[in-house]
Structure 1
Amino acid sequence: MKLKRSIGLFGIMCASLGGMVGSGWLFGSLYAAQMAGPASIISWLIGGFCIMFLALTFAELTAMFPISGGVAAFPIFTHGKLVGFILTWITWITYVVSISQEVQSTILYMGNKFPSLVQKVNENNVFTPFGYMACFLTMLVLIFLNSFGAKFLANANNFISVWKLLVPFAVVVVFLFTSHNFSNMGIGSSSPHEFAPNGINGIFSAVALAGVVYSFCGFQHAALLAGESKRPQRDIPLALILSILIAIALYTGLQYAFITALPESALANGWKSISFVGDSGPLAGLAASLGVIWLVTVLYIDAVISPFGTGVLYVASSARIVQTMSQSGNSPKFFAKISKSGIPMRAIFLNLVVSMLAFLPFSGWKAIVSFLSSALIFSFAVGPICLIALRKQQPERRRPFNLPFYKVFAFIAFYVCNLMIYWSGWNVIWKLGVTVITGFVVFVISNYLSRNTLDPEHVATKLDFKCAWWLIPYMLIFCVISYYSSFEGGQHLIPNGWDFLVVAVFSLLIFILSVKFCLPKAESDKNTASILAKKGNTNCCS
């Protein structure tokens, strides 16, 4: 059955904006300012325009294959089961850790009202034992809501989407009209502050570590509607470009409003140590210090609505990923069981345990978002590779949106993905490497030590180790470059400026290898037909 093409430009643009304006905006301004000072405005510009290149490559892919879980399916089309599993594994990890992140957003804001939930450790807001208990109880509530979440969210979706867009715009306007200390910008000889106190490294680090990239990753919601677009060739790229530009304007405006609204006392110890009463929920705390009590109330409500709405979705989506992996023989069949209510509760409780464990290696909201940003971009980086491979493997397939100069756009998208991961620094990238290795171990155990060696539904029945060889130098070289970089945790042996060239050469090498090791056309066609049939899209863009 074909999808009905009924969504216009405005609907697709709103879907993209709704995905990009999530809970990240509640904290991004504070952490970006701490890392880059007023120059954090540039961080938002860099992050937004980098994501734009990536979004356009996904526009072609999702228009060709308008199926759920496309990010995990595309590498199976082009490189087979192992690469597909690794990307699915990373996607599952990001979804599960995102549950922790969304819960953190709510509890940190509630810390302003209930001080026993949050404490200061090395100038970071971290949870007390009561805070962790509140996180656990909140996750249980998310599981409860998930039992009837689909209907609940469907009815509330329009309200939530409008709310999520109006509140941040209201914050910008109120902050600008209530307190506007332009001297905080560090522009001009009379300003007591620096514009870029941590230099170029601070600007780039903020892109990867302060929630900038994380905030823009919701663009994929527009790309996923490509199959239902009335005019995908025109509307998909236009919607992506317009929505990302609007998000850039919103986030840079919010960053500017936040910086100029800060009282002088908050900057007494410099940008790195911004501190004010209520900074565990920074926007609400700043609004309270400015005396805008009604806005404080609105922000507390938003701190519950936005994370809860997103959290319910992540609980449901991550459970479906585990269920699908179980059905494919890549995780124990135990987790594939569906309860009488139609919910994969065993998978949900597995995700609950992993979500709580995610608090152990990540102390605070910023640490979780830093990892999430790199993991998300790593999973998205395969998009440009799949675009090139599919042009080679399936040139005859109809492309509702045909990306012009596709080789140039695809390489630039892959390059900026690697830059954004590189800027996160060694402290994050080694965790990403461990995650990939763990995924490979799980794959081997599931496919060789269990009875489910082959996919029972005949989707990518070969393990396709050869087509995954490029992943080894990709991860190893990335770790080496990161270790010797000048970013967080690095040895400062690769100078600023030269690292752009190093990452460019590295990206080109991996880009060529990944296309060289893609599946033969016959195998690609077989995998594509199998997955499309499994998802009920046998006539998809044929």
Structure 2
Amino acid sequence: MLSPERSRASAQAPVRCPGCAPSTVRPAHLAERCIGVRPQGCARTRHRQSSTGYSQRASSWRALLAIGRPHRRPRHRETAKSASPSPTPDDHRLKRHVGLIGLLFTAVGSVIGSGWLFGAMYAAEQAGPASILSWVFGAIMIGFIGLTYSELGTMFPVSGGVVRFPHFAFGSFASYTTGWITWLAAASTAPIEVLAALQYGSNYVPWLQHLQDGVAVLTTPGYFAAAGLMFLFSLINVIGIRWFARLNNALVWWKLAIICIVIVAFLSADFKLDHFTHPAQGGFLPLGWHGVFSAIATAGIVFSYLGFRQGVELAGETDNPQRNVPIAVLGSLLLCAVIYILLQIAFIGALPGAALANGWQHIGTTFSGGIEGRALAFGPLATLAMTLGMTWLALLLYVDAFVSPADTGLIYTTVTARLSYAMGRNRNAPAVLAKVSERGVPWVSVILAFIVGLIFFLPFPGWQKLVGFVTSASVLSFGSGPLTMMALREELPNHHRPFRLMGGWMVPYLAFLSSNLIVFWSGWDVVWKLMLAVVLGLVLLALHEGLRGKHTPRLDFKAGFWVLPWLGGLALISWLGRYPELDKHAGNLGYLHLVSGVAVIAIFSALIMWLAHSFRLRGRRVLDHINQNWADAPGEQPG
């Protein structure tokens, strides 16, 4: 028998890891964990040192100061905080069939969806000519968020990354809560694209939609048409990711060509410069700065930019994620921001004077044109083209009104399935969601996305009714990304980062602040519905945990409890705010105006950021989650 002292020494002695380079050693009590973890030059693991296998963590304030410093790799040995997987597939059954152009075009195809068909009109209604600034500010704010996800996406190129990154840093409770919000946002995006296609189609088939309180909504036959399109998206996804990428590439070339033709045609028509500054219409800022920032959240501006996420969500299925992910994320944002700003300028200048007769707020219902005098709200760009005598352009737009939303809906059906797949891999959702077919498709998740998509048509039967919810849910889910990046900078300081974001804590803070501001500007009438959906998700989590009993993985509630004051605080601030305007009787109190609201959100964001950073998971738990999520699943059989 060994003495207790000798037993402990033996357990802590470094041993060679099977399959690794001769120089690679690791603590004995961690030897069996060698799954997907490797250093430069080693196939399976990284060096770990100290008697426990984990080095002492630095204090929080020192970590914050060190975040922006250049990366330095130790010459010989790394601490446990640096031990993490290299970018290899997270699941051997998912196929890496998406190249650089495929991933970039997936992101671009998501950005150029229904937003470009309606965003110019709704933004002009809410902000007038200053809607140009709304597109600029929206691109900058989403750009901050995209930068943080570029670093995370190249560190861990996994499918469903927006859901899985918080799991690494904060555990199951935080990842489930943010993952539930993310999944709701993605699941409701395919339906919104279907609604956009049908809204334009109603110019030719009027029984698809009708106006209700000035907003186009589905008729009963329209619901059946919407269900048919959702089924088509799901069917294409079941075929496989390779066919999806090929089809998407062709559709994106079409969309880019059409939007460029529209911009040139409107700019070369009877362009009216006085629309941008005419005093009778309120000048450049007819609705003030309140309208500028409100348009960012509710006119489809942020909704349009959110497509950048596909570069992150499909990182586990691209052949070179270290190169492809940042190019897809940042390239899609930059390209599409320029396109959208030019389109907004062209739309405002090409509007006939009659459209402004009742002010900017009513251009969608005041002006009629196109087929049988249908209102501008049913198809803004096509109706405007008809009025300008460009029948050929209107016909192209009616075709594209199906192609653009259909392509984006197809993409989001793919992404929704990957998100529920990721939650199944996180083990905070039913494991059946992670079942993968022989074609590399999470087919159970595809079916679930189809069913939930149909449900979303019931409370939100129109494009404008649904866009605010999708925007708020999406940016709220993105808020966990900057916090995760800060936590992993502390816990994995020496991890190889192909794309390393400079600037210390500043960019993550601005990204988190941007997320919270966009939710605030969405208005209380949207936020309370979103928070109700969050409560429903927590109830489902409780049921899931109760049914699994002893087999339930740890929730890590202590590391993720900050989610509750974050969401609760946002709901309270929104209720106290002036978004939407009080005359809409949404139930908000109106105490916080634009400036005071921004100030409160700025302080609140800093407090939540500090709270999340202070209670994050520490070294061993971080590595446990990474290895568990990153390992191949040899026991998983295709369903």
Fold shared per TM-score above 0.5: yes
Range moving further from structure 2, 322-331 or 491-500: 322-331
Distance across 2 between alignment mates of 1:330 and 1:11: 31
Pick from 392, 401, 405 the counterpart of residue 307 of structure 1.
405
CA positional deviation for 1:44: 0.4
Query: In the alignment, what sits opposite 1:510?
Result: 608
Pick from 154, 168, 178 the counterpart of residue 87 of structure 1.
178
Range moving further from structure 2, 61-70 or 346-355: 346-355
**Residue type of the partner of 2:468?**
S
Distance across 2 between alignment mates of 1:133 and 1:263: 36
Pick from 466, 469, 474 the counterpart of residue 561 of structure 2.
469
Over residues 167-214 of structure 1, what are the superposed CA-to-partner deviations in whole Å (9 max), with x where a residue is unaligned?
A: 1121111011123122222x154x545422321111111000011111
Over residues 103-143 of structure 1, what are the superposed CA-to-partner deviations in whole Å (9 max), with x where a residue is unaligned?
A: 10111110111111121111111122222222122223333
Distance across 2 between alignment mates of 1:426 and 1:303: 31
**Residue type of the partner of 1:32?**
A
* Residue 433 (str. 1) matches residue 531 (str. 2): yes
Query: In the alignment, what sits opposite 2:594?
Result: 496
Q: Mark the CA change 1:472 to 1:147 in structure 2 (over 3 Å): closer, same or farther.
A: closer
Query: In the alignment, what sits opposite 2:351?
Result: 262
Range moving further from structure 2, 92-101 or 218-227: 218-227
Alignment check: 8 A CA contact 2:98 2:242 kept: no
Alignment check: 8 A CA contact 2:237 2:446 kept: no
SS at match of 1:412: helix
Q: Mark the CA change 1:134 to 1:377 in structure 2 (over 3 Å): closer, same or farther.
A: same
Pick from 351, 354, 364 the counterpart of residue 452 of structure 2.
354
Distance across 2 between alignment mates of 1:343 and 1:173: 41
* Residue 177 (str. 1) matches residue 268 (str. 2): yes
**Residue type of the partner of 1:469?**
F
SS at match of 1:493: coil
Bigger RCO (CA 8 Å, 6+ sep): 1
Alignment check: 8 A CA contact 1:184 1:193 kept: no
Query: In the alignment, what sits opposite 2:285?
Result: 196
Distance across 2 between alignment mates of 1:344 and 1:7: 16
SS at match of 1:487: coil
Alignment check: 8 A CA contact 1:78 1:386 kept: yes
Give matches, 1:139-538, under 5 Å: 139-148=230-239, 150-185=241-276, 187-189=277-279, 192-222=281-311, 232=323, 243-274=332-363, 275=365, 276-277=368-369, 278=374, 279=376, 280-323=378-421, 325-326=423-424, 330-332=428-430, 347-450=445-548, 453-454=551-552, 461-488=553-580, 489=586, 490-534=588-632
CA positional deviation for 1:412: 1.1
Over residues 486-526 of structure 1, what are the superposed CA-to-partner deviations in whole Å (9 max), with x where a residue is unaligned?
A: 11133211132111111100000100001111111110011
Q: Which has the larger radius of gyration?
A: 2
Over residues 224-265 of structure 1, what are the superposed CA-to-partner deviations in whole Å (9 max), with x where a residue is unaligned?
A: 659866985xx9767755543332221111111111111122
Pick from 48, 52, 65 the counterpart of residue 139 of structure 2.
48
**Residue type of the partner of 2:150?**
A
CA positional deviation for 1:53: 1.2
* Residue 25 (str. 1) matches residue 82 (str. 2): no
CA positional deviation for 1:152: 3.6
**Residue type of the partner of 1:249?**
V
Q: Mark the CA change 1:26 to 1:528 in structure 2 (over 3 Å): closer, same or farther.
A: same
Q: Mark the CA change 1:426 to 1:22 in structure 2 (over 3 Å): closer, same or farther.
A: same
Q: Mark the CA change 1:535 to 1:295 in structure 2 (over 3 Å): closer, same or farther.
A: farther
Distance across 1 between alignment mates of 2:103 and 2:418: 24
Distance across 1 between alignment mates of 2:469 and 2:481: 20
Pick from 128, 133, 136 the counterpart of residue 227 of structure 2.
136
- The CA RMSD measured in Å over matched residues stands at 2.9
Alignment check: 8 A CA contact 1:470 1:513 kept: yes
Distance across 2 between alignment mates of 1:7 and 1:134: 31
Distance across 2 between alignment mates of 1:486 and 1:468: 30
Q: Figure out how many residues of one structure are paired with residues of the other and give that number.
A: 526
**Residue type of the partner of 1:389?**
A
Alignment check: 8 A CA contact 2:138 2:296 kept: yes
SS at match of 1:423: helix
Alignment check: 8 A CA contact 1:7 1:230 kept: no
CA positional deviation for 1:161: 1.9
Over residues 7-51 of structure 1, what are the superposed CA-to-partner deviations in whole Å (9 max), with x where a residue is unaligned?
A: 999887656434422221111111111111111111101100111
SS at match of 1:406: coil
Distance across 2 between alignment mates of 1:240 and 1:321: 18
TM-score of the aligned structures, taking structure 2 as reference length: 0.76
TM-score of the aligned structures, taking structure 1 as reference length: 0.89
Q: Mark the CA change 1:339 to 1:79 in structure 2 (over 3 Å): closer, same or farther.
A: closer
Range moving further from structure 2, 314-323 or 288-297: 314-323
Alignment check: 8 A CA contact 2:202 2:209 kept: yes
Query: In the alignment, what sits opposite 1:458?
Result: none
Alignment check: 8 A CA contact 2:183 2:416 kept: yes
Alignment check: 8 A CA contact 1:123 1:273 kept: no
SS at match of 1:119: strand
Alignment check: 8 A CA contact 1:112 1:285 kept: no
% identical aligned pairs:
36
Alignment check: 8 A CA contact 1:3 1:228 kept: no
Alignment check: 8 A CA contact 1:67 1:535 kept: no
Over residues 248-283 of structure 1, what are the superposed CA-to-partner deviations in whole Å (9 max), with x where a residue is unaligned?
A: 221111111111111122222221111323421211
**Residue type of the partner of 2:336?**
A
Over residues 434-486 of structure 1, what are the superposed CA-to-partner deviations in whole Å (9 max), with x where a residue is unaligned?
A: 122111111111011245842xxxxxx31111112111111111111100101
CA positional deviation for 1:297: 1.9
Distance across 2 between alignment mates of 1:302 and 1:149: 25
Query: In the alignment, what sits opposite 1:539?
Result: none
SS at match of 2:537: helix
Alignment check: 8 A CA contact 2:236 2:244 kept: no
CA positional deviation for 1:371: 0.8
SS at match of 2:499: coil
CA positional deviation for 1:156: 2.3
**Residue type of the partner of 1:392?**
E
- Structure 2: gaps (5+ residues): 1-85, 90-95, 581-585, 635-639
- Structure 1: gaps (5+ residues): 455-460, 537-542
Distance across 2 between alignment mates of 1:151 and 1:237: 21
CA positional deviation for 1:164: 1.9
Distance across 1 between alignment mates of 2:329 and 2:230: 33
Range moving further from structure 2, 500-509 or 145-154: 145-154
Query: In the alignment, what sits opposite 1:110?
Result: 201
